[in-house]
Amino acid sequence: MFFQFGGEDDVSDADAINELSPVAPPVTKKRNRTRSIGVLVVLLLAIVALLSQGILHSLNYFETVDQVLANRASFGTEIMRLEGVVKPGTIIRTSTGASFYVTGSKGEVFVKSHGTPPQLFQANIPVVVVGHFTTKSSMNFDGTQIMVKHTASYIAKNPSRVKAPNGTVR
């Protein structure tokens, strides 16, 4: 890399063969800079592409039931992601999907969703439903996809094996 060695074809006389002292390194600075800039440009484009995906789908991934109820008019019938907790006793599974209520602290929204719900879908679990309200003032939400947003808490199925920090059995 730092030494240039001529091939047999490059050598025309014995002096040149005996001249084995290192020669000046080739001019690589410009090439290095060009390559580095190339890498950074490609990198920047990749990040912009990823960010645009994130921003297109919005950094805040969903609207909560409370946010929607507080500002219902602004959402109209546009496609959105609605987050709330599945109200116990309201799940009705059909051949085409499921209907249920999602609740917040200030109210609830009726959801009729098409498609098979995820494996973890159940009462009292937070869900994010992709869809839209059926009319501009309606509180009925027509869903096309249900995603389960499970909590960060883990509790073992066998309650006698796990104790909370205060000693109570969870």
Verify binding: residue 29, other proteins, rule CB under 8 A: yes
Closer to other proteins at the Cβ: 42 or 136?
42
Tokens linked to 52 = 């645009």
Interaction between residue 119 and other proteins (CB under 8 A): yes
Does 88 contact other proteins by CB under 8 A? no
Give the pair of three-digit tokens for residue 62: 């969903």
The answer to whether 3 touches 23, Cβ cutoff 8 Å, is yes
| Residue in the structure block whose two tokens are 């390194």 | 25
Euclidean distance between CA atoms 98 and 76, whole angstroms = 23
The window from 71-79, 89-97, 102-110, 158-166 that contacts other proteins (CB under 8 A) reads 158-166
Cα 76 to Cα 132: distance, rounded to the nearest angstrom: 8
Residue 62 interacts with other proteins (CB under 8 A)?
Answer: yes
- End-to-end, the C-alpha distance of the chain in Å comes to 66
- What's the min distance (Å) between Cβ of 64 and other proteins? 8
CB of 39 to other proteins, least distance (A): 5
* # residues near other proteins by CB under 8 A: 59
Q: What is the chain's Cα-based Rg?
A: 32
CA distance 85 to 65: 9
The smaller minimum CB distance to other proteins, of residues 118 and 138, is found at: 118
Asked if 170 interacts with other proteins (CB under 8 A), we say yes
- The closest of 104, 74, 68 to 87, measured between CA atoms, is 104
Regarding 79 and contact with other proteins (CB under 8 A), the answer is no
60 lies in the binding site for other proteins (CB under 8 A)? yes
- The helix (H) or strand (E) run that includes residue 96 is none
Interface contacts to other proteins, rule CB under 8 A: 1, 3, 5, 14, 17-18, 20, 28-29, 31-32, 35-36, 38-40, 42-43, 46-47, 50-51, 53-54, 56-57, 59-62, 64, 83, 117-121, 125, 128, 145-158, 161-165, 170
